[in-house]
Amino acid sequence: MGDHEKEIGRRSRVFAVIPTLLTLGNAVCGFGAITFAAMVGPEEFAPNGSVSSAANQLLFNAAGLIFLAMVFDALDGSVARLTKQTSDFGAQLDSLCDVVSFGVAPAFIMLKLMHPDHKLMESIAKLPFQYSPRLLWAIAVLFMVSAILRLARFNAETDESDSHDHFSGLPSPAAAGVIASFPIGLQEIRAVAIEPDLSRTSALTFGRSYGDISISVLALLLPIITICVSLLMVSRVKYPHVVNQFLRGSGNRTKLLKIVFSLLLVFVIREMALPVLFCYFAFAAPIKIAWQKSWLWIQSRRRERISPRGA
């Protein structure tokens, strides 16, 4: 009996290592993303001001590592619950690693992508103005601080009895995905705007001028989007836990429609599907709430006009 208990304890310790390694893999990916983004410098620009393919590839790799960190982040909790190895230590470690991958790394990528000194967006977009470096730095800091506050609040308010069906506020991985999806999406638009190929079947192949406009609009919107997702992280807007809801058996028809629509979007607009899908997830819920409140306010105003005065 004693040997059997020792064997069970030995297996538990082995299983406990696996969730920890997955969590640490999340942090390694975040640090790798920062490393790749930091490699983008003046040497990546040609004399005519154009950006080399190496600079785009570095930011593409950095963004890809953030998405890989999301995979590790989704797996560590699932493995810990499956092996019954959940603990306060694991929860704290997970949040510490998330700060690196979903707080610092996306903010740094946005700063590298938009900073005027790096001329990355300036060389591929016709911007009517440039964002101040100090303003961009402040936006990046806001994103990082919001992610830290979001993760600290999650740890303080979540316990083992929580159903994990919804989040209060935009989850930090989703906010990071919004930012990280832009370097990947820009690959598709850049191919259309700068190197158009009539043989491409993508719906984004609508000509060089429209590609230029798309890049310029994205360049203008990215800092604003970063501010919005930062505020949504510390908001109380309810967001669905996508992984848990897809793993459970309710709403199969809705799940199927969402999967089919997502795959169709990827087939039609390729890399630009990532920014579209992540922005939809981030902004659909607050827009729906704002619309409902506006509609209720309009209805109340109508009732006030129809009701007799002095009644």
Tell me what pLDDT residue 206 has.
44
Pick from 1-15, 78-92, 158-172 the range whose average pLDDT is largest: 78-92
- Contacts with 216 (C-beta within 8 Å, 6 or more apart), sequence order: 125, 126, 127
Kind and range of the H or E element at 168? Answer: strand 166-168
* Residue 20, both tokens: 């920890």
Tell me what pLDDT residue 121 has.
64
* Residue 178, both tokens: 């919004």
* Residue 167, both tokens: 């989040």
Beta bridge partners of 45: 51
pLDDT bucket at 202, cuts 50 / 70 / 90: very low
Distance CA 142, CA 227 (A): 7
pLDDT (tens digit per residue) in 273-308: 888 889 999 999 999 999 999 998 888 888 878 765
Distance CA 188, CA 193 (A): 9
Residue carrying the six token digits 């807007």: 237
Percent of the chain with pLDDT over 70: 68
Distance CA 226, CA 228 (A): 5
Out of 80-84, 104-108, 136-140, which region has the weakest mean confidence (pLDDT)? Answer: 80-84
Distance CA 279, CA 164 (A): 22
Q: Give the global pTM.
A: 0.81
Distance CA 88, CA 234 (A): 22
Tell me what pLDDT residue 245 has.
60
CA atoms within 13 A on the CB side of 276: 13
Distance CA 307, CA 311 (A): 7
